[in-house]
Amino acid sequence: MSDDRKPTGPESEVSAPSNFIRDFIDEDIRNNKHEGRIHTRFPPEPNGYLHIGHAKSICLNFGISRDYQGKCNLRFDDTNPVREDQEYIDSIKEDIRWLGFDWEDREYYASDYFEQLYDWAVQLIEKGLAYVCELTAEQIREYRGTLTEAGRNSPFRERSMAENLDLFARMRAGEFEDGSMTLRARINMSSPNMNMRDPIMYRILRATHHRTGDKWCIYPTYDYTHGQSDSLEAITHSLCTLEFEDHRPLYEWYIQNLGIFPSRQIEFARLNLTFTVVSKRFLLRLVKEGRVRGWDDPRMPTISGIRRRGYPPAAVRAFCDRIGISKKDSTVDYALLQFHVREVLNRDANRVMAVLDPLRVVITNYPEGQVEELEAVNNPGNPDAGARLVPFSRELYIEREDFLEDPPKKFFRLAPGREVRLRYGYFITCTEVVKDEAGNVVELRCTYDPATRGGNAPDGRRVKGTLHWVSAARALPAQIRLYEHLFTKEDPYDVGEGEDYLANLNPESEQVNRQAFVEPSLQELPAGTTVQFERLGYFCVDPDSSAEQLVFNRTVTLRDTWAKIKDK
């Protein structure tokens, strides 16, 4: 297969670049390994919501299967009922579909294989390769040794096969207390690879499983389950992040000694982003302590969070393709993800007008009570997006920052005696400034030129400033949630002595604006729709939005303002 291969299907926006994983697969195809069959899997543990790092793995596994006309399974590694929940399973499936991928009818669970895994454990006992151990968890850690010191054999390591079989069966029958016994593989307590020092295969745990209920009181460990699950599903290429590289010899040991189908495990570097933590454990803490609104808070790096913020799936896929696959850990600048978000939204998002910090403008020579409809283009880059009508009236709102009473030389917006253009509307000239008792500007009085409807003067005169606006009579009040990075430092783990990553939480990561107004065309916009507020940025309709209270999340600014702030 050539390196200029391209993905196929409606979800493919970019060419798939070659990488070392694809080189391995190409080699296997040339050698007719598995008769050229390519079968991958995405194996999340349902103990939290997926984050942007998982998006990289999803795009890789499903993308590989798509590009090689293979298959990709969705398998939930549900071996720990204490931490797992149906809520997480539902969210994971929603996230994968949102990204544009489909596992079709291949939805599996490690719990589907509990009976087979138990039978295989019995086989290993019968071969003298597994034993029941009564050391406590603390003692197991102590006996395990260190990176520079070999471990010690458990005093229960030399039990007879018959005794081990009896004890393991009684473990399953529920005769022993939680944590009192484990089943361990009998490998090598002197191995330089700590994972090979008689790892635990089963532990006693009385907890109701979301699928098997109370059928089991012993549960297999992830390391014992993972490779065999791949084997049972005939996965040809098991793609894992680098932290599993040292676990590969253990997976291969189980497969070899059970004599079952061998998947090829290939490791790649996980995704790390600046200003971001991508640990489900740390993200769960943020949720539980109320530091964020929930797993889908728009500041969270979860897939549900970036979806709620308004990031389009095409941008996430393009980002994952752009960063590529490597064997070396690195950190990607968050600005690159935002670049792809802007690129997609600039192409696809309709333009509308909104005013976040309103200043009232009264057009004194415009007829009182009159409202006219002006045609506004939805997307200048996409003629098929059409146009809409925007109401224009005697009283308007403009952005407060678009007026200065004493402007500097290069300020081209509204000022006393100056003429500017209203977007899609008329030329107006400021004739009077109204202030309150404290000297604050509260209203501008202007005149308009009726001949300039549409924004052009028939006499050819030009103005340098064009302002967005909304009709005070017809505009809708809206709540605007403005988001910045959740952490103040590029590396959230860069903390002082005695501190943790929460010390770097950004107290201004969410600011709520309750004084904004938007044009009435946004009244019926469905939740999840992202638009561009002209001159302000991209904003998404939040699920909290209703007919009584419109709510928008800022997806991303038109330019990277954060970089300027942090460099000051």
Q: Active-site positions?
A: 45, 270, 280
- Dist. CA 44–CA 110, nearest whole Å: 11
**DSSP symbol at 350:** P
3-class DSSP state for residue 280? helix
Judge contact between 284 and 259, C-beta under 8 A: no
Which element (helix H / strand E) includes 454?
none
- Characterise 5 by phi-psi region: left (phi > 0), alpha (psi -120 to 50), beta (else): beta
Q: Which two tokens stand for residue 133?
A: 């151990």
Judge contact between 46 and 110, C-beta under 8 A: no
3 state SS for 137-187: HHHHHHHHCCCCCCCCCCCCCCCCHHHHHHHHHHHHHCCCCCCCCEEEECC
| Parallel, antiparallel or unpaired: strands 530-533 and 537-541 | antiparallel
The CB-side HSE value for 290 (13 A sphere, CA atoms) comes to 0
In sequence order, the 6+-apart residues with CB closer than 8 A to the CB of 425 are 374, 392, 453, 454, 455, 469
Judge contact between 169 and 120, C-beta under 8 A: no
- Dist. CA 326–CA 547, nearest whole Å: 48
CA of residue 145 relative to chain centroid, distance: 38
Judge contact between 416 and 430, C-beta under 8 A: yes
In sequence order, the 6+-apart residues with CB closer than 8 A to the CB of 129 are 185, 186, 187, 257
Judge contact between 311 and 344, C-beta under 8 A: no
- Helix extents (H) in 324-355: 334-348
Q: Which two tokens stand for residue 30?
A: 């040339």
- Dist. CA 71–CA 106, nearest whole Å: 9
Which amino acid is it at 37?
R
Sign for the CA dihedral angle at 557, 560, 566, 568 comes to negative
- Characterise 34 by phi-psi region: left (phi > 0), alpha (psi -120 to 50), beta (else): left
Burial 107-135 (b: 16+ CB within 10 A, else e): ebbbbbbbeebbebbbebbeeebbbbbeb
> Which of 205, 249, 227, 245 has the alpha carbon at shortest distance from 120?
227
Q: For residue 399, which phi and psi values (nearest 5 degrees)? A: -70, 135
> Which of 296, 336, 383, 318 has the alpha carbon at shortest distance from 90?
296
